[in-house]
Amino acid sequence: MPSEPPAARHVLEFPGGYTRTTGPVIGRFLSELRARRIVGVRTAEGRVLVPPLEYDPGTGDPVTGEYVQVGPAGTVTTCAWVDEPLEGHPLDRPFAWALIALDGADTALLHAVDAGNPKAIATGTRVWPVWSERPTGNVTDLSHFVPEVTKIVAPVRAEYRLRAGGALGVFLAGVERGVLLGGRCQSCEKVYVPYRLSCPECGTAIGEPVELPGTGTVTTFAINNLPDPRAPQVPFVSAYILLDGADIPMIALVGDVPAHEVRHGMRVRAVWVPTEERTASMTNIRWFAPTGEPDVEL
Interface residues with another protein (CB under 8 A)?
Answer: 150-151, 154, 156, 162, 164, 168, 172, 188, 190-192, 200-201, 219-226, 228, 230-231, 235-236, 238-240, 247-248, 251-253, 264, 280-283, 285, 298
- H or E segment at 80? strand 74-82
Distance CA 229, CA 262 (A): 21
Q: Between 188 and 205, whose beta carbon lies closer to another protein?
A: 188
Distance CA 171, CA 182 (A): 8
- H or E segment at 292? none
Q: Between 108 and 191, whose beta carbon lies closer to another protein?
A: 191
Q: Between 1 and 156, whose beta carbon lies closer to another protein?
A: 156
- H or E segment at 243? strand 236-243
Distance CA 232, CA 290 (A): 17
Region of 102 please: left (phi>0), alpha (psi -120 to 50) or beta: beta
Least distance from another protein to the Cβ atom of residue 254, Å:
10
SS3 annotation, 167-209 = HHHHHHHHHHCCCEEEEEECCCCCEECCCCCECCCCCCEEEEE
Least distance from another protein to the Cβ atom of residue 8, Å:
57
Residue type, 135: P
Question: Coil, strand, or helix at residue 153?
Answer: coil
268 Cβ partners below 8 Å, 6+ apart?
Answer: 215, 216, 217, 218, 239, 241, 254, 288, 289, 290, 291
Distance CA 199, CA 154 (A): 41
Least distance from another protein to the Cβ atom of residue 207, Å:
16
Least distance from another protein to the Cβ atom of residue 223, Å:
4
Q: Between 134 and 151, whose beta carbon lies closer to another protein?
A: 151
Least distance from another protein to the Cβ atom of residue 127, Å:
16
Q: Between 29 and 287, whose beta carbon lies closer to another protein?
A: 287
Q: Between 105 and 170, whose beta carbon lies closer to another protein?
A: 170
Q: Between 139 and 164, whose beta carbon lies closer to another protein?
A: 164
What's the Cα-to-Cα distance from 107 to each of 70, 254, 262, rounded to whole Å? 11, 68, 69
Least distance from another protein to the Cβ atom of residue 155, Å:
9
Least distance from another protein to the Cβ atom of residue 259, Å:
8
